[in-house]
Amino acid sequence: MHISDGVLPATLIFSTFALTGAGVAYSLRKIPPEELPKIAVVTAAFFVASLIHLPLGPTSVHLLLPGLVGILLGPAAAFLSITVGVVLQSILFQFGGLTALGANSLMMGVPAIACGLFFSLFQGSTVRSRVAASAVAGGCGTLLAALVLAGWLAASGEHFFGVARLALVAHLPVALIEAIVSASTVSFIHRVKPEMLVWSRSLSPAAHDSTG
Amino acid sequence: MMSGIDHPLRRTRLSTTGSLLLVLLTLLLCLPVQAANSLPESTEPLRQQLCTEVTEELRSLRQENARNNRELKREIAALHHALNRPGPRDILAGIGYILGLFGAAAFVAARRRTSSPSDRS
């Protein structure tokens, strides 16, 4: 799920680039320095995840992981992480065009932000609630990305509902797999390092001031 | 039209249609008087038969070539696809880039923190 060169109109290219730049600037201001290694590792995982192809019937699907990035990093850091990952995927793997970088970053970044917020609101503190929240966030992240993709294509002249239905149906199995992956990841982290899941505390202004 | 290809092809196909040709040739040699009169009439069907055979052969060859070409094209497309697919080197390069970028960011952040006096106090 990447948009190639020459699909989007020029106005959309510029506006998505501007939005992505603003998002990255906001992320950079918000991130506490001690979070950087964790962000780097999650970014590397996101970057590599799209290469893991799972055979599915006649075709194969690959993981997208915007939901898991949002869950693990929180909204602010997730956007920077996604943007870096998408830029490198575009340069090294030719996934998506260079002019569509902004659109592709937003396509993954906005669901990551939404999933991060959702997870922080609904995670609770027990294993069960966290696993459930992460499964929902992981699955919805992919579907949300498919919806954003349909939105971009609609802006470039396609019919929104047709594209949206196609993208949603094509990504239903991916969403299911991502829900499972997110849930198992979160349940593992909950067992071995539960404090990793409460990024909201380390990102809150008070904690940021006390550490800075 | 066929005279250019007819002669060498007839020679190469002598093994397969050899018996028929030999019979006809001996007939021609044995009956020279008759042959002088009936030469155009007797070679005309043979010529036509050879012509149809050769065109048949050419058609089957062309079909076989087309099939092979299609197979080759498919293989080339698959190769292109495999070449464009990122290999382990690209993956490692990307991970290295990410770790390097964030490492540099961490370095800058750490420097800023140690050099700013308000943080030290």
The answer, for B101 touching chain A at a CB cutoff of 8 Å, is: yes
CA distance B94 to A40: 11
CB A49 within 8 A of CB A162: no
Kindly list the distances between the CA atom of residue A7 and the CA atoms of A92, A98, A152, B85, B118, in Å, as whole numbers in the listed order.
20, 11, 9, 22, 50
Which amino acid makes up residue A204?
S
pLDDT tier for residue A84 given thresholds of 50, 70 and 90: very high
Token readout for A133 is 């929240």
The answer, for B104 touching chain A at a CB cutoff of 8 Å, is: no
The answer, for B107 touching chain A at a CB cutoff of 8 Å, is: no
The better pLDDT of the pair A3, B119 is held by A3
Q: What is the pLDDT of residues A108-138, one digit of tens each?
A: 999 999 999 999 888 888 889 999 999 999 9
Q: Which candidate from B91, B93, B98 shows the least CB-CB separation from A51? A: B91
Q: If we measure between CA atoms, which residue out of A141, A38, A120, A135 comes closest to residue A80?
A: A38
Tens digit of each residue's pLDDT, chain B (121 residues): 444 445 544 454 545 566 666 566 656 665 555 545 555 567 888 889 999 999 999 999 999 999 999 999 999 988 888 777 777 888 898 899 999 999 998 898 888 888 765 544 4
Asked whether the beta carbons of residue B98 and residue A47 sit closer than 8 angstroms, the reply is: yes
CB A92 within 8 A of CB B94: yes
Asked whether the beta carbons of residue B84 and residue A89 sit closer than 8 angstroms, the reply is: no
pLDDT tier for residue A208 given thresholds of 50, 70 and 90: very low
Q: What is the pLDDT of residues A156-195, one digit of tens each?
A: 877 888 888 888 888 888 899 999 999 999 999 999 988 8
Give the gap in angstroms from C-alpha B117 to the nearest C-alpha of chain A: 12
The answer, for B118 touching chain A at a CB cutoff of 8 Å, is: no
Q: If we measure between CA atoms, which residue out of A170, A186, A207 comes closest to residue A130?
A: A186
- DSSP code, position A57: T
Q: What is the pLDDT of residue B1?
A: 44
The rounded mean pLDDT for chain A is 85
pLDDT tier for residue A203 given thresholds of 50, 70 and 90: very low
Asked whether the beta carbons of residue B113 and residue A89 sit closer than 8 angstroms, the reply is: no
The CA R_g of chain A, rounded to the nearest whole Å, is 17
Q: If we measure between CA atoms, which residue out of A70, A172, A152 comes closest to residue A104?
A: A152
DSSP sequence for A154-204:
HHTTS-HHHHHHHHHHHHHHHHHHHHHHHHHHHHHHHHH-GGGG-HHHHHS
CA distance A182 to A172: 15
Asked whether the beta carbons of residue A37 and residue B106 sit closer than 8 angstroms, the reply is: yes
Any idea which of A41-45, A58-62, A88-92, B24-28 has the lowest mean pLDDT?
B24-28
Q: What is the pLDDT of residues B58-84, one digit of tens each?
A: 999 999 999 999 999 999 988 888 777
Q: What is the pLDDT of residues A68-82, one digit of tens each?
A: 999 999 888 999 999
Q: Which candidate from A33, A51, A89 shows the least CB-CB separation from B106? A: A33
H-state helical runs in A74-126: 75-93, 101-122
Asked whether the beta carbons of residue B102 and residue A33 sit closer than 8 angstroms, the reply is: no
Q: Of all helices (H) and strands (E), which one includes residue A53?
A: strand A53-56
Q: What is the pLDDT of residues A4-31, one digit of tens each?
A: 888 888 888 999 999 999 999 999 888 8
